[in-house]
Structure 1
């Protein structure tokens, strides 16, 4: 008779072994997840930069055809009592050059992009909307991927009261410095726009506007002057004050808030910064639609920006600037450390939030004679 030693059979893990395996997997995931997220953000950041390069090429092609940079109209053409064209952004103008010719053809540019054209006073410009029955409502809610930075989580159709649906955009055009501002130490107030993109209100012409900017007007050099920058799409939370009125919650990213910058008056850029920074609460009426409508030339759609506040910091508005686009919108992004800036020559650079302010101000001016090499 043959005898065999007993053999134990194991067909499963012990509980301890299972817990060890789970712990190891958890550690690996914890180590890999930041790397995956970093890789994804790097891809989104690259796509964002590529979008800006496409838009820059579109602007140059537009200039080649029309002999000027596309203009944003900040009001309607209500001359003669008629409600004509107006309220269209520069982004709407370059649609054919970003392979969106069909969308461009759907827009009736002879109709004002607003539900009404009764804009007699500057304060009337806060009462603006593109309702669902507007002839161009369908175009207004059409997302254009090229106009969206994939790093911004708010890049979806925005829904508002009254059925208004608007497609957002992440990029704003440089219109220079605020009206009547000046370089530090220079007492001469700015009387004409000094950015790359022009503004125009057909019903209320403003001497500060330069409706048709040409590249030859950028005498500081196209490679030295900023043309387009990233701007966050606003997501705000409104707080009702017990004493009446409302304000933006302090928990909201300050770069999504707009603070009162008083009325239009002469200030040097170095005085604008602390003045804007001293206001306590953001005003929801001036910021709730920042970035919410790529198609709109309305001042508070914020498809234009100014070189005043440091990158990533607050926006400020001026009472009296509602109708003319005199709005201190500040570039910002979800990228770590700064924003992409498209220079007027078509190149894209990543600019740090810690950029020297004098250099940032000089980049916003196309014809002031500031030499960037002396400021860097």
Structure 2
């Protein structure tokens, strides 16, 4: 999400206008305390009850206000990633299989009868992702009207990305990246994918009966699902991405699977358990293989260190089946989302969007490979 620069040029918030922004949860007490310190005002605690009233009586510089906005973006602009594959055969270059009259704005108009509260900026088109022309991408941004929040957020922007790659056997793999903070970009992505699928069928690139293949909760046994999720801790993941620890687990007990008495006694009375901590890879739910047939992992969060051409930092990636986590739906689709924290020394040189793409690419490759390894065999 982003705040339009024109808003900052017109007016800087003070008093109650500023309070509406700095009192929100995306800004921590420490961040506000640091801001006060930079203005020569010192308090002894990271307490918003102290920092908010003081800041309401100060005037922020444009640079200080942008710093607050960037903190908001870091907190809220998080991407979810879903992968879909579409079995088909084609020898054509990828750009040649996209409709010549492709228009994302036209697709939206054909799918929505009312005037939406957003608009797509410009007229984005698919382009090659690299010189090798092995992939194409549609990168776009929407501007959304939202008058339910404070004045800073009446107009916000949200990014999204669709990537199409061709596998070695000429099967096309569609990789869909969705903005975490915007359900609108999710809806637009789905509209575009449906439009492309229909076009591929009309062009005889895809058979009429073929549909997208998604990674779903029900594609795994309990044991294999845990192994699939744990595979993202592999040291062989990438030389750019080093696993550090498991930080969060969401565990459910499967009532339909019988278990030895030892396990029953240990997990007696537990239906759903959220575990937070450090180095959870040593937790008994992970290390005790006998438990894996009885328990269900709906999400797991892993912490990594990264280094891309000297840009260093850490990130937390949550791998999850959200619809199972919240609704126990076995049709839940697998996704991951990435929170990136760049080291302060190199932050000014970092492009977070590029880091996100690089990390996503590593995870995507691992995900598709491990899905083939651990998915249930079709009977």
Structure with greater proportional helix content: 2
Structure with greater proportional strand content: 2
Q: Of the two, which has the highest radius of gyration? A: 1
The structure, 1 or 2, with the larger RCO (C-alpha pairs under 8 Å, 6+ apart) is 1
The TM-score, its normalising length taken from structure 1, stands at: 0.25
The TM-score, its normalising length taken from structure 2, stands at: 0.25
